[in-house]
Amino acid sequence: MKKLLLIILALLICLTACTAQKEETANTGDASDNASETFETIPEDALLFTDESGAAAYTVIYPDFPTEIIEAAAEDLRSNLTVVTGAKFAKSTDRDNKTKDKGEILIGLTNREQSKVTETLKEREYVIKVDGNKIVITGGSDYAIITALGEFQAMFSKDAPYVTETLSVSGKADKTQYLVAVTNRSSQQIDIYDLVPASNNTMVKVKSLPISTPAAGLNIRSHATFGDVVVWCGSKHAEIMSYETGEKIWSTDNAADNAHGIELLPNDVVAVASSSGNEVRFFDIFASSSTYKSMKLEDAHGVLWDPENEVVWALGLSKLTAYKVERTGSGITVTEDTSKSVKLISDYGHDIAPVYGDTDKMWITTSGGLYIYSKSDKTFTTHINGDNNVIKRSNIKGIGNFDDGSILSLYPDGALYEWTTQTINLYFKYGDKLYHTTYMTLGTHYYKCRVLRTDYQ
């Protein structure tokens, strides 16, 4: 009996083993089929980012002495490759020749032979291509290179961690223009430039508008009758001119001394803030240019129309205030809205401009600081999103921002006058940080700047 039980147990073990083997064979067959299907989705000319052992097959290379933004972009690429492949990718400048004969991803104009294509590219053009054991990602400017890196990273993913050996893409960075208007104090004109972001000294002059006297203040506005206009002021002069033709539309020589800020209101009133005159004067552009209403404001420097609150904000020595302005057949009525008046954090207010993207906020500059003012809370803050201690804070003569969060500013270098500069500053927003880029034209001296937008906020 015992012998019979042992035989039966042996048969059961054998049967179980056979069944398990069949199941294992079936499962193995399915896995093999799936693997085969997965392999078949990878093109024959696929260029994998890792080798057979799973280690990184490329080193990320960028030029020696790179701009901060290119170094940051190289780090972003390296990190993204690690996320996609699980491998750790090294990065280095082109001074390092250890990997010169190996796989490299070349960013910008490196000293590698394959990067020479960069020299033929215009500011907004870029190239992404495979050249031997190099992947070349470059452009005619940092802005174009950043655009190319974004497109390159969109080409691969965890499901497809490769590019093709025949990869060759040429393109242009988006046509978004970073247009700025600056008062040129060395040649008495208003210059319009298109800044190519994140590219030192790469800016394109769009046009120049000659003016009759050195300008201290300006704004770009849209008028129902005259179209896009430039409103500017200097000395005792204030003027509206056509943006397209430069033709004078309206002017006065009756602003108070040292006109510094100017605004065109929707009701056809021009407000002019004068620092030496210590007042803001209001002119009806369809009435006599010698008549006006005046409001006293010590060291008046800037004015800005607020369509949401229907007031003109005015910036003085130590005070920010607002005026209600009405224009009727009998003339102009101006009333200070004292409920909106506040004391500045630091003295010598200089520029006031909209924080585009937030109708509650305004830029305020003084000799001692750069602030964002909240109209609703009546509070000043020095916190600026993305600033990693690159923004200069004091003595800023002109300020503004673009939709993407990049910031424009001017501050003096004293080369011509103590209040002028040869340099336009752009703090370009990339990711969650701002990167300082300078645009210099030797011998051309600027004073005030504006982001070229016609809307008030």
Q: Please tell me the distance from the alpha carbon of residue 218 to that of residue 273, in angstroms, as a whole number.
A: 11
Residue 8 neighbours by CB under 8 Å, 6+ apart:
none
163 and 215 in a single domain? The answer is no
Query: How close are the terminal C-alpha atoms of the chain, in Å?
Result: 99
Q: Is residue 310 part of a domain?
A: yes
Question: Which residue range is the domain that position 115 belongs to?
Answer: 46-172
298 and 206 in a single domain? The answer is yes
**What are the pLDDT digits (tens) for 33-75?**
443 444 447 888 999 999 999 999 999 999 999 999 999 999 9
Lowest mean pLDDT of 37-51, 167-181, 319-333, 420-434, name the range.
37-51
Q: Is residue 409 part of a domain?
A: yes
363 and 304 in a single domain? The answer is yes
**What are the pLDDT digits (tens) for 201-251?**
788 899 999 999 999 999 999 999 999 999 999 999 999 999 999 999 999
Q: Is residue 33 part of a domain?
A: no
Domain CATH number, residue 90? 3.30.379.10
Domain CATH number, residue 269? 2.130.10.10
Q: Is residue 34 part of a domain?
A: no
Lowest mean pLDDT of 32-36, 292-296, 303-307, 384-388, name the range.
32-36
166 and 224 in a single domain? The answer is no
* Structural domain total, the chain: 2
Q: Is residue 32 part of a domain?
A: no
280 and 408 in a single domain? The answer is yes
Q: Please tell me the distance from the alpha carbon of residue 349 to that of residue 343, in angstroms, as a whole number.
A: 10
DSSP-assigned beta bridge partners for residue 441:
none
What is the DSSP annotation of 199-253? -TT-EEEEEEEE-SS--SEEEEEEETTTEEEEEEEETTEEEEEETTT--EEEEES
**What are the pLDDT digits (tens) for 72-81?**
999 999 999 9
91 and 236 in a single domain? The answer is no
**What are the pLDDT digits (tens) for 106-123?**
999 999 999 999 999 999
162 and 280 in a single domain? The answer is no
**What are the pLDDT digits (tens) for 144-179?**
999 999 999 999 999 999 999 999 999 999 878 899
365 and 300 in a single domain? The answer is yes
Q: Which residue has the higher pLDDT, 406 or 330?
A: 406
pLDDT for residue 453 is more than 70: yes
433 and 288 in a single domain? The answer is yes
pLDDT for residue 174: 86
